[in-house]
Structure 1
Amino acid sequence: MNGGDAAGRLVRPFTLTGGRTRPSRADFTLITMVTAVDPPPDRAARPQPEHTRILRLCAQPVVVAELAAKLDLSVSVVCIMLCDLLEEGRITAHAPRQISRTLDMDLLQKVRDGLGRL
Structure 2
Amino acid sequence: MSDDGTAQGSQWYDAEAGPLVRPYAVTGGRTDPGPSGVRFDLIALVAFDEAAPDGSDEGLLGPEHRALLTLCRSETQSVAELSADADLPVGVVRVLLGDLLEAGFVRVSRPVPPAQLPDERILREVIDGLRAL
Smaller-chain TM-score bracket: 0.7 to 0.9
Question: SS state of the match for residue 85, structure 2?
Answer: helix
- Change in Cα spacing, 1:8 to 1:64, as seen in structure 2 (3 Å) is same
1:108 CA displacement:
5.3
1:38 CA displacement:
3.5
Q: Distance in 2 between matches of 1:40 and 1:106?
A: 40
Question: SS state of the match for residue 97, structure 1?
Answer: coil
> Once the two structures are superposed, what CA deviation does each residue of 1:34-57 show, in whole Å capped at 9, x if it has no partner?
112236314846211110000001
| Fraction of identical pairs, as percent | 40
Q: Distance in 1 between matches of 2:51 and 2:121?
A: 46
Larger Rg computed on CA atoms: 2
Instruction: Please tell me the residue identity of whatever aligns with 2:86.
Output: L
2:46 to 13, 21, 34: 34
State the match for 1:56 in structure 2: 70
TM-score, length-normalised on structure 1?
Answer: 0.73
* Number of residue pairs the alignment of both structures matches: 105
Mark the runs of 5 or more structure 1 residues left unpaired by the alignment: 1-6, 112-118
> Once the two structures are superposed, what CA deviation does each residue of 1:73-104 show, in whole Å capped at 9, x if it has no partner?
22111000000010001111111123435523
Q: Distance in 2 between matches of 1:49 and 1:29?
A: 23
What value does the CA root-mean-square deviation take over the aligned residues? 2.7
- Change in Cα spacing, 1:107 to 1:19, as seen in structure 2 (3 Å) is same
TM-score, length-normalised on structure 2?
Answer: 0.66
2:31 to 8, 11, 21: 21
Q: Which has the higher contact order (CA 8 A, sep 6+)?
A: 1
